[in-house]
Structure formats: C-alpha cells, structure tokens
Amino acid sequence: MLSLREYLQSYQGIEIIIWENKEGIVELSSSDLPEVLSYCLEIKPRPIWLTHVVNDERQLGRGFCLYLVLHFPGKDFSLTLVAKGIKEEFPTLALIFPALNWSEREAQDLFGLHAVGHPDPRSLVLHPGWPQGFHPLRKDYKAGDERKAFDRAPLVFPEMHGDGIFQVPVGPIHAGIIEPGHFRFYAIGEPVLHLEAQLFYTHKGIEKLVEGRSIEDGLRIIERVCGVCALSHGLAYCEAVEKLANVEVSRPVLLWRTILAELERAYNHIGDIGNMCAGVGFALGNANGSQSKEKLQRLNLEFFGHRFLRGVVVPGGMKLIPGSKDSQAMLNRLIKLSDDFEAWIPLLLEHDGFRQRAVTTGVLKPENAIDLGVTGPAARASGIANDWRELHAYLLYPELKVTSIIEQDGDAWSRLMVRVKETRESFRFLNTLLREAMQGPEFNYDKPVSIALGKVRPFSPTWGCVESPRGTDVIWLMLDEQGKIYRCRVRSASYANWPAVPLTLPGNIVPDFPLINKSFELCYSCCDR
Amino acid sequence: MDELFMILTRLLMGIGHLALFIVAAPLLQGFIKKSKAFWQMRQGPPILQPYRDLRKLMKKEELISEHASWIFLLTPRITLAATLMAVLVIPGVWGWAPLSVWGDLFLLGASLGLVRLFLTLSGLEGAGTFGGMGSSRELFLGLLTEPALLLGLIVLAFITDTTSLQGITSGLLSISPLYIPRILALVALVMVSITEMGRIPMDNPDTHLELTMIHEGMLIEYSGPSLALLNFAEQIKQLLLLVLLAQIIWPSGLISVSDGLLGMLLALGFAGAKVAALGFFFATVESLFVKRRLFRAPHYLATSTASAILALISLWIIRGQI
C-alpha cells in the first residue's frame, strides 16, 4: 500500500499545498472527494474527522469551498481536503462516512448547496417556516431582518404504522431546567422502536455573528457558545489564532492552560456524574455531585474570576497567571476535594440498585460510534481510544503521558466509569501541574502576553482543537486581510455526539431515556450554535 | 335523650377524627420533604410549605383540555371523597375509628381501588401520551400491589379474628411483636405502602422527568383547584397509610375520655412521634435507594405478595388451622 502522500501525489488533479510534519493541506475537485475519502478511511488506524466546513469564497473567486479535516491517529497527522469552486452541488460523503451526515445537511440549509445523493436530505438547522432561498451563511446575505420572514410551520416527523405503535412527543419545553429539544419516541407499550431528536431550537447564528469581528470580539463570543465547555471553546479558538500568527506561547502559559482545561474537566465530570443520579432518582448521589461541582466552580471563581473560566485565556497568553502562593492554596483545596470525591463515589459505584439501572442500558455499539465519529467519554465507553490529549501533542499533555481511558460495554454504566476514572486522572494531573506552578517564578497579574496581529496569514484555513469534557472540540478559523474573522466554524463535541443518542435507544424502555440522555449529557447550545 | 346525646358525641368525634387527618396530612408531607432535604444536605422548603402550595393552587386558574369529559372534573372530587372514606375506617390517634364494623378492611381496599380507577381513567382524559403512560403503569403496579395489601391485612384479621381495622389494632395489643405471621404481614404492608404512596423505589414523587412518571403522569393535565384536591388526597392517603402502619407496628390501644385530658394528649403525642418516625424512615429509604427499572417492579412487588402468603402459611402452621 502506498503511503498517503504517494497516493495523493499519484492522484490526477490533486494539488498538495502544504505538507509538513504534522499537517497537510491538499486541493482537489469536489467530484474526487468520495474516492479520496474512501481511501483515507481504509488506512489503519482509521482516521477520525475533526471538522467539515463549507465556506462562501465567491468574493475571492474560488466559489464555495469545502474543507474536510481528518486526523490520522498514531502519526498525529492532520489532513485538510479542500474542494474549491463548488457552484451549486457537491457529491455527498455521508454514505461513505455517516459522521458527515449533519454537516452536509447543515451546508444545504445555510449555504443552499445541494449534497447530491444524500440519503436523508431533510433540513436540519432551519426549522420549517423559513422562506425559500434563505441561506444566511452566504456572504451576500445581510443578517438583521430575517425574523420578519419567518412564518411558523409545524414540524414534520416520519410516520410509523402498525398495531399498538404510538408516538410520545416530549419537549421542546421540558419540566426541568434544561435546554430545548424535541424528542419523539415511537413505542409499543414501554419498549422504544425509534427516536427522532429535533434539535437546533437554540440556533443563534453565531457563525454569522462572528464574521467581520475582531479576534478579541470573536473570542468573547466563542467563549459564550455554551456554558459547559466555555474554556475548551476559547482555548481551541486561541490555538487556531496562534497557529495563524505563528506564535509560540511560553511554558508557564501552557502549564496554566493545561491546569484550566483539567479544572474544567473535573467540575464537568463530577457534575455529570451527579446528574446521572438524578436520572434514576438517586437523591443522595445527586446532592453529593452538585455539592462537589459547586465547590470546584467556586474555586474557579476565586482564583480565575469566573465560574465557567471565561475570559482567562487570550490569544498569545493568559489574562492572569496565579502566583506560587495561590497555586499552593489551590492545590490544598483540590486535594481536599479529591478526597471528598473518593469518599462519596463508592456510594454510587457499590449501589446495587444504581448498577441495575445503568448496566446494559443504552448501549452504543463500537461500529456505530466509529461510523458516526462519536467523541469523548461516549466513544471511550464503547472501547474507542480517541482521547485527543493522547492522540495529539498539545499543551503539556505529552509530558503527562495521558492515555485514553476506555471501557468496553458502551452502556450508561461504562460512560459513568469513564467519567469517574477520568476525574481521578484529572485530579492527579492537577496535582503534578500545580506542584510545578508552585516552584515557578512569580508572574504579574493583568498583563496579557499580547500578540502581534500584523503577521496573521489572511484567507488561510486553520483549526484549533481541545479535548473538552464532552469530547474533542474543534474551532475552524479563517481570517481576512484586516485580521477580522472571515469564517469560523464551531464543531463542538456535542454536535459530533448527538446523532448517536437515538441509536442507543431502541430496545430500551421509555423510562430509561432520562438516564441514557444524562449518561451522554450533551449540550444543546453549542450543538445548535 | 341519652341516645341522641350518644349519636351527637359520636358524630362530633367522627368529625374530629376527620379534621385531625385533614389538618395533619400536609404537615406530614412537609416533614418528609424536610427529612429528605436533611439527607441531601440541603435546607429544604419550610415544613409548612405544603399548606401554602395547596392555598396557592386553590387560587389559581384551572385549565381543562378540550378533549376532556365529565370524568376529568369528577375525578378530583371522587378521589378526595374516597380517600376520606378510607380515613373513616382507620383507627386514629386514640385507637378509635368512626366506622368500625365487620369487613371495613375491605372498605379500605375498595376506597383505594376506587381512587385508582378514577385516576387511571382521568389520566386518559387529556388525550396526551404522558397521562396514558401514567395510567397504564399505575394499573400495572396496582395489579401487583392490591393482592399483597389485602392479603397482608387478611392475615392480621385471621390473627385477631376480626376484619374491623379498629378491632385488628386493639387485638394486636395482646400479640407478641415477634409473632412470625405478624412480622411477615408487616413486611408485606410496608413494601406495599411505598408503592401506594408513589415513592422510590417504585415511583418518584419529585420527578421532573416526564418519561418516568407514574402517579404524577396521571395528574399532568390537572391545574388549579383540581390539582390541589388531588395533591391533598394524596397527602391524606400517605398519612392514613402511615397511621395504619404505626398502629400495626405499635398499637396504642383504645384511649377514651376516661384517661383524662393528659392521657389523650399523651396519646396524640405518641401517635405523632410514631408517624414522624415512620415518615423519616420512608424519607431515608427514598434518599438511599434508586428508582427501579419499571419492568423490575414485579420482582419487588412479588416479594411483598410472597411475604404475605408466607405470613398466611406460617399462621396456619403455628395454629394448625385458620
């Protein structure tokens, strides 16, 4: 078998733009995409998709462009396939790689391009009621008055016929304080046959909103895409900007960014573990989880000024770096919190009733997880070792020697166990990192290492990628010649994982859905954007 | 004249009995919530909150689905009336029940059955899926709880040779608390009571998860005063079950005016303490256990039925006859 590069070189009509140690960008015609992607997917270990971006570059004379970023684990090599000059249609890749299903439907909605041969071409992001020809991400569309054109129309769902089959509509308004999403169960009695999830109620047009904004404004918006992985989104965005500007950040900055990422993981994982208890009505576990999460968030507030860790990371550095005294205090607090976590977690893990509910519930098969490009704890619970901290050398993770924590069964219990073990790892990493921070030199507060933006490469595609608590977050970024954002695509972990949730349901009973849903604990806001 | 006086006193005592249950029911609910909050390391709502909630609901506007029929409006009234009917046969604080005649054990079962019948019907009224799911699950559980409840009480009736609940509780005074059939019957009744009260591990009274609801599912279409009546009836049912359990576990016997005011007040305090202890016990169970998978419910309920049957068999073995 030829190496990837030899294959691409020998392929007629492929132009290699960049081929470096870690990254490659190649241009090809959109009609060649299916064949090249099929070839790439045959390579072992199988590549994972990072993001799929459509961009309107007609002003630059390049038509619509399609960027598909793949990552080849093992070699830590990322390949961007660029198809330029798309006019109205592109061949679908969803048949070869179902993970791209949603991205292509989204491109159909927001750009008005046609994915030829797509197996499920229903609209995804835009709900029924938007007028024909409303394609907001085209550059010639000026946002502002679209609200007036919206004429509310009922949602359309597939029909299912048969004796005793009925539909259970749930949402978009739920009884708890959660985000909006409509779920439609097709059930016979209690067992579920099929689930349709209608999301994108909170589509805010963020990708349109950031266009033409400065890098700083973009960061503020991207950090607010959602409230659970705020730091990861911001960090991925900063990495993308730094890559474009060719900036190397110093070691203390890397150190503190790693600490922040692990703090975010710890508080999210613990909160998610507690939430799973709420899914089975286990009040004591839920109370313990909420309490630990709150303590961690207060620690965030105290040392970094924000419960969700917003506004700490900036392109090129950090807004503030705590001194050694603060590091010592933080370490002491975290050791206490870690002991506290170890004290209450057996309550859950040794609870027969809880095990009975979670084991064999909501199984995500590994082949489904691979096909749909599932990421994060959801994939690792199905035996797929795809922790971005292990796959890709970034921050201080290579030094920490992160290994993906995997479970084999793919059920709600496995997803819980992955979170529990990762939380322990996070506490261990935080211990190591904070010990280094304690010895480090003192830093000045409020003195961000600023970035010289003059040398940012215009109209060049780049991406930043961070392992968030829910999986790999990818921010894809392109700046214009004035250093303003030309296109920014947010592919959050939740966006990658949502299509997998309905697949885990058939065979389970309706009352188990809350537990299954909570074992994924996906975010609606950063999926809908 | 004497006869009239007798009737009047009995009537007054009956009204007093009902009034005590009506007043105390929300208090018990508040206490159980407070106990759960204790386990969850929270402050919890004030103990008087259930009264405020009822008052709030009574004042609120009531919305009725256009698909609903007269059953929908009738159900809250029937539910409350049938629950109060059941209260009349429960021996209260002073071990006395306004209705104490042959067979009132079955009156209890029938009243609770009537409540269940109308609740499941009204669950279907709103033509929503949650109500229908709640009704189907309620019947599924009801099918399994009712035999255990009746059998458990019947064993007690055999032990004390009466089917009057007042007779049963005063008869149990002379039976050892460690009498095997009594213990087994008690186990069955405690397990059934959890289901009847709609608590974990069978149902979750606090749930916001629409998909898992049973009792709350049937009430989902109700609002305003009707919801207040239904919630109130549920609280009374909870209290009457706990009072009955308390009287079976530790009967206080018949206390009358002849014991003096102090004696009567002491009995009131004793009964309150017993019910509070049981309430705390159930709150603890609810905090420590998780809700079972619905299709595992038969295992749990089969255990309670088996326990009741064992009680019957052990009684047969001990006595040589029934």
Q: Model confidence over B184-215: pLDDT tens digits?
A: 999 999 999 998 888 888 887 776 677 888 88
Report the residue of chain B nearest A291, measured CA to CA: B41
Minimal C-alpha gap between A48 and chain B (Å): 35
A210 and A137, same domain (yes or no): no
Kindly state whether residues A502 and A402 are assigned to the same domain. yes
Among A396, A398, A397, A405, which residue's Cα sits nearest to residue A424? Answer: A405
- pLDDT tier for residue A452 given thresholds of 50, 70 and 90: low
Residue A431 placed within a domain = yes
Chain A residue with the nearest C-alpha to that of B294: A511
Q: Which residues pair with A476 in a beta bridge?
A: A463, A489
Q: Does A463 touch chain B (CB under 8 A)?
A: no
State whether residue A310 is helix, strand or coil. Answer: coil
Q: Is the residue at A134 inside a domain?
A: yes
Q: Is A165 on the interface with B (CB under 8 A)?
A: no
User: Is a pLDDT exceeding 50 seen at residue B321?
Assistant: yes
In this prediction, residue A444 has a pLDDT band, given cuts at 50, 70 and 90, of low
Q: What CATH code is carried by the domain that includes residue A89?
A: 3.30.460.80
Dist CA A52 CA A496 (whole Å): 11
Instruction: Flag whether pLDDT at A36 surpasses 90.
Output: no
Find chain A residues with C-beta within 8 A of B294's C-beta.
Answer: 190, 509, 511
SS3 call for B54? helix
CB B106 within 8 A of CB B112: no
Position B238 pLDDT exceeds 60:
yes
Residue A529: CB atoms within 10 A of its CB come to: 22
What tokens does B142 get?
């009801």
| Averaged pLDDT for residues A432-454 | 67
User: Do the Cβ atoms of A175 and B209 come closer than 8 Å?
Assistant: yes
Q: Positive or negative, the Cα torsion across A305, A307, A313, A314?
A: negative
Is residue A440 helix, strand or coil? coil
Based on the domain organization, do A133 and A237 belong to the same domain? no
Q: Tell me the C-alpha distance between A89 and A105, whole Å.
A: 12
- Specify the higher pLDDT residue, B293 or B308: B308
Cβ atoms of residues A154 and A128 within 8 Å: yes
* A-proximal residues of B, 41-70, CB under 8 Å: 41-42
**How far is residue A303 CA from its own chain's centroid?**
26
User: Which residues, 6+ apart, have CB-to-CB distance to B101 below 8 Å?
Assistant: B164
* Cα–Cα distance measured from residue A104 to residue A393, given in angstroms and rounded to the nearest whole number: 29
Question: Chain B residue closest to A289 (CA)?
Answer: B40
pLDDT > 90 fraction of chain A, expressed in percent and rounded: 35
Indicate the residue among A125, A149, A173 that finishes a domain: A149
Do A302 and A424 sit in the same domain of this protein? yes
User: Which residues in A339-396 belong to E strands, given as ranges?
Assistant: none
Quote the pLDDT of residue A353.
85
Give pLDDT tens digits for A79-104: 898 988 888 888 998 999 999 999 99
Q: CA B82, CA B317: separation in Å to the nearest integer? A: 37
- Looking at A419-433, A449-463, B6-20, B30-44, which range is the least confident one? A449-463
Q: Which of A167, A188, A190, A276 to mutate to test the interface with B (most CBs of B within 10 A)?
A: A190
Question: Which of these ranges, A10-19, B48-57, B233-242, has the smallest mean pLDDT?
Answer: A10-19
Domain boundary among A128, A149, A170: A149
Please tell me if residue B284 touches chain A, with a CB cutoff of 8 Å.
Answer: no
For the stretch A393-402, pLDDT in tens is 888 898 888 8
Do A242 and A342 fall within a single domain?
Answer: yes
**pLDDT recorded at residue A1:** 45
CB B105 within 8 A of CB B154: yes
Q: Which of A189, A280, A287 sits opposite B291 (nearest CB)?
A: A280
Question: Does position A413 have pLDDT exceeding 90, yes or no?
Answer: yes
Q: Which two tokens stand for residue A32?
A: 């060649």
Chain A residues inside the 8 Å CB shell of B211 = 168, 170, 510-511, 513-514
The per-residue pLDDT for A481 is 83
Res. B69 pLDDT band, cuts 50 70 90? confident
Residues of B within 8 A of A169 (CB-CB) are 129
What mean pLDDT comes out for the span A324-353? 90
Residue A451 has pLDDT above 70, yes or no: no
Q: pLDDT > 90: what percent of chain B?
A: 43
Compute the nearest-CA separation of B214 from chain A (Å).
Answer: 10
Same domain, A139 and A219: no
A115 shares its domain with A238: no
> Burial level of B66, CB count in 10 A (0-12/13-18/19+)?
exposed
Tell me, what's the ipTM? 0.80
Domain count, chain B: 1
Verify that A50 and A137 share a domain, yes or no: yes
A157 in B contact zone (CB under 8 Å): no
User: What pLDDT score was predicted for residue A499?
Assistant: 92
R_g of chain A computed on alpha carbons: 23
**Which structural domain range is residue A398 located in?**
206-528
Number of domains in chain A: 2
Sign of CA dihedral A278, A284, A287, A293: negative
- Contact status of B133 with chain A (Cβ, < 8 Å): yes
CB atoms within 10 A of CB A152: 7
Chain B contact for A175, CB < 8 A?
Answer: yes
Rounded to the nearest integer, the mean pLDDT of chain A is: 88
- Looking at residues A248-277, what average pLDDT do you find? 90
Give mean pLDDT, residues A313-327: 84
Judge whether A276 and A420 are in contact, CB under 8 Å: no
Which residue pairs, CB below 8 angstroms and at least 24 apart, start in A478-484? A478/A55, A479/A215, A479/A244, A483/A214, A483/A215, A483/A453, A483/A454, A483/A456, A483/A458, A484/A212, A484/A213, A484/A214, A484/A215
Nearest-neighbour CA in chain B from A354: distance (Å)? 6
Q: Is A236 helix (H, G, I), strand (E, B) or coil?
A: helix
| C-alpha dist (Å) from residue B177 to B163, B186, B311 | 19, 10, 14
How many percent of chain B have pLDDT more than 70? 98
Q: Which residue of B has its CA nearest to A355?
A: B290
Q: Which amino acid would we find at residue B148?
A: A
Q: Do B290 and A511 touch (CB under 8 A)?
A: no
User: B293–A512: do the CB atoms touch at under 8 Å?
Assistant: yes
Task: Please provide residue A507's backbone torsions phi and psi, each rounded to the nearest 5 degrees.
Answer: 95, -20
Q: Where are the alpha helices (DSSP H) in chain B?
A: 2-39, 49-59, 70-89, 104-125, 129-160, 165-172, 180-196, 215-218, 224-249, 260-288, 297-319
Q: What's the rounded Cα separation, in Å, for the pair A469 and A526? A: 13
CB pairs under 8 A between A and B: 79
Report the alpha-carbon distance of residue A135 to residue A114 in Å, rounded: 12
Task: Give me the domain span that covers residue B6.
Answer: 2-319
